[in-house]
Amino acid sequence: MNVNPDYDQLFKLIINFEGFENSAYLDSGKVPTIGIGSTWNYDKGRKVKMDDYITKQTAIKWLEQSFVEYVKQANLYIKVPLSPHQSAAVVDNIYNRGIGNFL
């Protein structure tokens, strides 16, 4: 595995930039977003809707779930070993922009 972030650092990085919102809001791209920048409601298996509400504990759980997917995606394309700090930066970029924009 070439992308293996320091998850503590990654959490701090994303929470610092994203903050926490318990009710859905429109992000800068006008996409319904909730929690710690999530656009996907993992509990209901769908995109976030404007009437969704979330606890901080659930937001952290969703963030953990998303990290698994983003690390998996990054490892499909990155063929050189990255440091934990570099890995955290890559996963943060994919989290914010999506894998298509990252590529």
pLDDT in tens, 6-41: 888 888 888 888 899 999 999 999 999 999 999 999
CA 21 to chain CA centroid, nearest Å? 14
Under a CB-based contact definition with an 8 Å cutoff, are residues 52 and 23 in contact? yes
E-strand ranges in the chain read 21-26, 32-35, 40-41, 46-47
Do the bridges between strand 40-41 and strand 21-26 make them parallel or antiparallel, or are there none, so unpaired? unpaired
The residues, ordered by sequence, that sit 6+ positions from 74 with a Cβ below 8 Å of its Cβ are 2, 3, 87, 90, 91, 94, 99, 102
Q: What's the mean pLDDT when you consider all of the chain?
A: 93
